[in-house]
Amino acid sequence: MIGFFREDNKVRREINLTAAEHAKLKISARLLALAKTVIGSPKGTCNAVH
């Protein structure tokens, strides 16, 4: 659901909202804002990758 990787000597985050929703977890908007990539979208909205 949350993956970590190194880019330019910094640790970045990738969040899979679809996997989190299947596990009945909610990811805070603050954590989503810090993510380099967000896969999926909250229920009720169109799918997007940022």
Could you tell me if residue 49 is inside a domain?
A: no
Kindly give the confidence (pLDDT) of every residue in the chain, 50 residues in length, as a single tens digit, with 9 standing for 90 and above: 999 999 999 999 999 999 999 999 999 999 999 999 999 977 655 554 54
Could you tell me if residue 30 is inside a domain?
A: yes
Residue 39's pLDDT is what?
92
Could you tell me if residue 48 is inside a domain?
A: no
Could you tell me if residue 12 is inside a domain?
A: yes
Domain tally, the chain? 1
User: Rounded distance, CA 9 to CA 44, Å?
Assistant: 36
Could you tell me if residue 47 is inside a domain?
A: no
Locate 20 and state its tokens: 């989190």
Q: Which domain holds residue 20?
A: 2-39
Residue 44's pLDDT is what?
54
For residue 12, CA distances in Å to 2, 5, 9, 31, 33 come to 10, 5, 9, 12, 12
Which pTM was predicted?
A: 0.71
User: Rounded distance, CA 18 to CA 46, Å?
Assistant: 12
